[in-house]
């Protein structure tokens, strides 16, 4: 089996990748003996948040450099990702998805997707390979695939309305479960949109990873 690409968006729930979700994804892939390759945009992130008081800091940070804190330095620019070399892609959540991988945090249903992420994910999809997205990350799917797709972010009504406005079909889902769009080979789980502990988040994330591996192995 080829490696699975994991796309990060920084380091920290308020301005990058959700660290627990990222590490739990790594743990699940490792327990299934799957090689991981990390990617992130090599550019400045939208903002920098103090995670103690949630205030914005007046400083600049690079998305890939911050993401490398999670991947222990093993990471490459998203622009270099070659879909042919991977069997699937997984994207953890965190506000970095809505700020750095897209501008959903600013534009909502009128959002645009990072051009390198868009190119990579569309190539993965065109090659018939699965994609797993968790937490807030699934909001990008209607724009990435540019067609109707079944997905979940849990049960947040405002976010669901924006997903449906973009053309997605939202399925209510608990933290310990997944939603699978078999036709599009897309797997989603709410993770910390609903989970209140790493153990709760792990239950859905581990199911997602196992399903991604199953679909990638067919």
Catalytic residues: 135
Q: Report DSSP state, residue 101.
A: I
141's CB contacts (< 8 A; 6+ apart) are: 131, 133, 149, 151, 168, 186, 188
What phi, psi does 17 have (nearest 5°)? -75, 145
Token pair belonging to 8: 């990060």
SS3 171: coil
DSSP symbol at 197: S
Cα-based torsion angle of the residue sequence 109, 92, 45, 39 in order, rounded to the nearest 10 degrees: -120
């Amino acid at each position: 089996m080829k490696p699975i690409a994991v796309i990060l968006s920084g380091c920290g729930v308020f301005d990058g990748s959700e660290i627990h979700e990222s590490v739990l994804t790594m743990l699940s892939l490792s327990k299934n003996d799957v090689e991981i390759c990390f990617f992130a945009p090599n550019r400045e992130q939208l903002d920098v948040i103090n995670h103690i008081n949630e205030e914005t800091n007046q400083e600049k940070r690079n998305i890939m450099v911050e993401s490398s804190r999670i991947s222990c330095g093993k990471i490459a620019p998203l622009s270099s990702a070659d879909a042919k070399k991977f069997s699937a892609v997984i994207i953890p959540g965190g506000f970095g998805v809505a700020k750095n991988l897209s501008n959903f945090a600013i534009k909502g249903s009128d959002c645009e997707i990072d051009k390198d992420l868009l190119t990579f994910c569309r190539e993965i999809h065109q090659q018939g390979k699965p994609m797993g997205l968790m937490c807030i990350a699934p909001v990008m799917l209607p724009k990435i695939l540019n067609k109707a797709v079944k997905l979940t972010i849990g049960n947040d009504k405002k976010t669901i309305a924006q997903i449906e406005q973009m053309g997605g079909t939202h399925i209510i889902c608990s933290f310990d479960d997944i939603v699978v769009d078999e036709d599009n080979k897309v797997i989603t789980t709410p993770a910390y949109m609903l989970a209140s502990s790493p153990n709760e988040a792990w239950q859905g994330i581990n199911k997602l990873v196992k399903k991604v591996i199953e679909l990638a192995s067919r």
